[in-house]
Structure 1
Amino acid sequence: MKKKLLFFLLPSFLLLCNSAAGNDALLCLKETAKQEKEDKIQTNLLSAIALVESGRYSKDYPSGIAWPWTVTAEGKGNFYPSKKEAVKAVLELQKKGITNIDVGCMQINLKYHPDAFKSIEDALTPAKNIAYAAKFLKRNFEETNSWGVAATRYHSKTDNKALRYEDKLLDAWKRLTKYGNPAATEIRAKQKDLSRETVKKINKEINERKKAKKDASSAPQKKKILPGSPESKALADKWRKQKLEEYMARKKQEARKKYGDAPIFEEVTTSEK
């Protein structure tokens, strides 16, 4: 009886697991599509980043899927079957002293974004994970005025790393353009503004602006001179002396024009006999 019952329940259990996995498969892309609309981010851009960060193959969705329970540490990524197991894995890594950990749909780094979430559970909640990523992406956009460049700088602002990331991003973008976001209710993907030339040009302009700003901030500040202070009096004396010298030079020039090369009174020397 027990064996028969187990045999009867096993297919139902597997069906339940597959159903849960199927539902989880679209959690990330559903939230990225929603966030793109709410934050007015270029359609499919946040979704493409998610596919690069936590993407995995899916026989059901040719665009691929982003897996919400993805954890990466020490260069190794793992797709956990549930949020509970992903949270457990992160806590175990932290117990070992490992802090450089990427989590969730958008692979937010817990070391470099320590204040992004209140807890590991929050960090692995797709809506919160993606909302933070969207905020980070928008900051990049405000800095570059280009969604394409903002996306390539999501992973790193170093030019070489940004360009390598661009290749992966373009591949994900093209799949979304061709097949659409399977979780989106409205597909309006447009491929633009992601050329290497554009990235390099804008990155150069940004770096030049940053350098100019840094140079300006490090330049010695002029000391404020108060009226009546010794510095103020010294400047006034210097100004009067300069004006007097200019006046005397002008008078000499006028005298030379009038009298030629004959000595003029300022230059006459006398000697006693």
Structure 2
Amino acid sequence: MMIKRITTTFCLAAVMTNADPITSDTMFERIGIQSGVDPLLLYSIAIVESATGTGDGETITPHPYVFRTSDGPQFFHARDEAEQALEKALETTDNIDVGMMQRNLYWHPPQDGEALFDPEEQVTWASELLASYLSRDEPLELRIGRYHSSRHPLAIAYGQRVLKVYSNLMKLEDITHADQ
């Protein structure tokens, strides 16, 4: 996925596709289909929440070993490093967003035994939360934005940002399909 700037606004249609080259044969596809949430929408949220560069200057990908405090995001190369740093951060606050889908520990505390840095658990949790918001009778940007905030202006801005990423990824899919 070559994403340098996201500039286009898009209105998401409620369509799920199995021919999605970006999420095909991934946990996003499997979990999205199970939960009834568009896999590309889940992937778009993962990009917004935890994207990091891969080192080539053009490619970004969701990152599983990250958490964010009021001091900003901290990215780690290994799960054990992330878990140790998180334990230390939890000594001062529980308002921390954790993992690929940035689960907030204050608002969404984990059950015993949940692996906060496990991508599959993160995406499963996110798909369940997002599915509950998508079923509401509200504008799409707001329903998606509820994943990030219950405050209307923040939710709308977040929903619009996710939809821009979604739109950009759809364009990449169109290019990929045209090349086949």
Does residue 100 of the first structure (1) align with residue 100 of the second (2)? no
Q: Which residue of 2 aligns with 1:174?
A: 167
Indicate the SS of the match to 1:143.
Answer: coil
Aligned partners of 1:45 and 1:151 also within 8 Å: no
2:130 is aligned with 1:137: yes
Other-structure match for 2:66: 70
- The amino acid of 1:132's aligned partner reads W
Native 8 Å contact 1:49 1:151 kept in 2: no
Match of 2:118 in 1: 125
Structure showing greater radius of gyration is 1
For residues 74 and 125 of structure 1, the distance between their equivalents in structure 2, rounded to whole angstroms, comes to: 23
Counterpart of 2:37 in structure 1 is 41
Say if 1:149 and 1:63 are closer, same or farther in 2 by CA, change over 3 A.
Answer: farther
Give 1:152 shift.
1.8
Question: Which residue does 2:12 correspond to in 1?
Answer: none
Report whether the alignment pairs 1:58 with 2:20.
Answer: no
Comparing both chains, which one has the higher relative contact order based on Cα–Cα distances under 8 Å and sequence gaps of 6 or more?
2
Scaled by the length of structure 2, the TM-score of the pair is: 0.73
Aligned-CA RMSD value: 2.6
How far apart are 1:34 and its partner, in Å?
2.2
* 1:31 alignment partner, one of 27, 42, 66: 27
Scaled by the length of structure 1, the TM-score of the pair is: 0.50
What is the percentage of aligned positions where both structures have the same residue?
A: 25
Question: 1:84: how far off?
Answer: 0.8
Aligned positions of 1:209-220 closer than 5 A: none
Q: How many residues align?
A: 151
Q: 1:42–1:147: 8 Å Cα contact kept in structure 2?
A: no
The 8 Å contact of residues 36 and 131 in structure 2, kept in 1 or not, is answered as no
Q: Any unmatched runs of 5+ in structure 2? A: 1-21
2:140–2:159: 8 Å Cα contact kept in structure 1?
Answer: no
User: Post-superposition shift, 1:150?
Assistant: 2.3
**Is the contact made by 2:28 and 2:39 (CA closer than 8 Å) also made in structure 1?**
no
Distance 1:171 1:62 in 2: 17
What is the CA–CA distance in structure 2 between the aligned matches of 1:75 and 1:46, rounded to whole Å?
Answer: 26
- Deviations along 1:40-96, whole A, 9 cap, x unmatched? 21241111111111112335696621000011111410111011111111101113x
1:1-273 to 2 correspondences below 5 Å? 30-58=26-54, 64-95=60-91, 97-114=92-109, 116-119=110-113, 122-144=115-137, 148-180=141-173
**SS of aligned partner of 2:115:** helix
CA distance in 2, matches of 1:66, 1:167: 19
Asked if the contact 2:141/2:160 (under 8 Å) is kept, the reply is: no
Distance, in Å, in 1 between the alignment partners of 2:58 and 2:74 is: 21
In structure 1, runs of 5+ residues without a counterpart are: 1-25, 181-186, 188-273
Cα distance, 1:135 vs. partner?
0.8
Q: Which runs of 4+ in 1 moved over 4 A?
A: 59-63, 145-148
Pick the structure with more helix per residue: 1
